[in-house]
Copies of this chain bind each other. A is one copy, B any other.
Amino acid sequence: MTSLDFDLYATDDAARTGVLRTSRGDIRTPTFMPVGTAATVKALYPEQVKDAGADVILGNTYHLMLRPGAERVKRLGGLHHFMRWSGPILTDSGGFQIWSLSDLSKMTEEGVIFKSHLDGSRHMLTPERSIEIQADLLGADISVQLDECTHYPCEKDAAASSMQLSRRWGVRSKSAFGERSDQALFGIVQGGVHEDLRQESAEELVAIGFDGYAIGGLAVGEGVEMMYRTLDITTPHLPHNRPRYLMGVGKPVDLVEAVARGVDMFDCVLPTRSGRHGQAWTDWGPMNLKNMRFAEDNRPMDATLDCPAARDYSRAYLHHLIRAGEYLGSMLLSWYNIAYFAHLTARMRAAIAAGEFGTFRARFHACMAEGTDAI
């Protein structure tokens, strides 16, 4: 029994397309979740995110618990109301940011102690507190268990004991979450790049029973080949009828390759971060709009994309804005990239539904091989 219906419409080899149904709206899968770190998808209005085709966004527990504070968000009406996003929100557990951003952290069986990167204040995050913040205070539609993310490379013994800690935290998270009619909880598969650990982690999480399964501990330096291989050895151990979420990934090609391996959900700061730095993503790779070859290129980024940032503004203007350091350059390229990523997932959904995902994937790689000089 789950609070999150997942209707799988079609599969094409390992690739799948379907719809996750939440009380705040449907999430068409494969889906890409723009990251709204500090209660805003950087440089975008919430309406733009929605209109660009994003069904769901991600909120960062670590950032929000520190600023403006989870209790404050609750008093202000919850995260959806606070940031004016009426669609579904998935929050992460806070674990990954503690691991990557905070000044100091100490892992104990109980939880993790860390110092804020903002003001050095001391905090403790436990599996129970993470659930309280995500589900009760922020009001996330989908919460994710607290886990420990291991560095790469990592000795197998360390990967195993870390994975077991994450599993125990998964049990506590599930217990703290309880039964909820309109909110869901995802577990996180760990185990580094080790097949037996990934299998063990997946099977134990499935035994606990979650609404969906995140695949953690990837995109942390292991390289794409190792990441793809780890997906190959992990997704077969996850239930067919539950969504699979690859955390923190990634480049467009990584989305295509992970979908080919049965992944349904993604999140990454790449489209907005790239946009702020003058990069526009395409099937042919990232275009650097700062490049002088765009100085008098009066074509839009992509006239076929139903997004004003892609269709209505010239590359020459984007080039000028980025070189001049203007807000509007970051705004337009972040918007364009979010629309491109949403459109990429839409094209994958259509290709899978038509049984043509293999063709889509081959064409995508052919474009990448051509490079951005072709467009």
B82 touches A326 (CB 8 A): no
Counting contact residues on chain A (CB < 8 A from B), the size range is: 20 to 34
Q: Is A360 an interface residue (CB 8 A)?
A: no
A76 touches B316 (CB 8 A): yes
Complex contacts, A43 vs chain B, CB 8 Å: 327-328, 331
Using a CB-CB cutoff of 8 Å, which residues 300-336 of chain A contact chain B?
A: 312-314, 316-317, 320-321, 323-324, 326-328, 330-331
A326 touches B38 (CB 8 A): yes
Complex contacts, A276 vs chain B, CB 8 Å: 327
Complex contacts, A44 vs chain B, CB 8 Å: 328
A67 touches B298 (CB 8 A): no
Q: Is A2 an interface residue (CB 8 A)?
A: no
- Identical subunits present: 2
| A40 CB, nearest partner CB in chain B, Å | 5
Q: Is A72 an interface residue (CB 8 A)?
A: yes
Classify the secondary structure of A's interface with B: loop
Subset of 28 A-B contacts with CB under 8 Å = A38-B321, A38-B324, A38-B326, A39-B317, A40-B326, A42-B328, A43-B328, A43-B331, A44-B328, A45-B331, A67-B320, A67-B323, A67-B324, A68-B295, A68-B316, A68-B320, A68-B323, A72-B296, A75-B296, A76-B296, A76-B314, A76-B317, A77-B298, A82-B316, A83-B317, A84-B313, A276-B327, A327-B330
- A60-94: CB near B (< 8 Å → 1, else 0) gives 00000001100010011100001110000000000
Report the bound CA distance from A321 to B312 in whole Å.
28
Complex contacts, A39 vs chain B, CB 8 Å: 317, 320-321
B328 touches A45 (CB 8 A): yes
Complex contacts, A45 vs chain B, CB 8 Å: 328, 331
Report the bound CA distance from A331 to B75 in whole Å.
25
Complex contacts, A331 vs chain B, CB 8 Å: 43, 45, 327, 331
Q: Residue on B with the closest CB to A321?
A: B40
**8 nearest interchain CB pairs?**
A43-B327, A40-B328, A38-B324, A68-B320, A40-B326, A76-B316, A42-B327, A82-B317
Report the bound CA distance from A40 to B313 in whole Å.
12
Q: Residue on B with the closest CB to A67?
A: B324
Using a CB-CB cutoff of 8 Å, which residues 14-40 of chain A contact chain B?
A: 38-40
| A48 CB, nearest partner CB in chain B, Å | 10
| A39 CB, nearest partner CB in chain B, Å | 7
| A362 CB, nearest partner CB in chain B, Å | 37
Report the bound CA distance from A72 to B295 in whole Å.
9
Known: A42-B326, A327-B330. 12 other contacts (CB 8 A): A39-B317, A40-B321, A40-B326, A40-B328, A43-B328, A43-B331, A44-B328, A45-B331, A67-B323, A68-B316, A76-B316, A82-B317
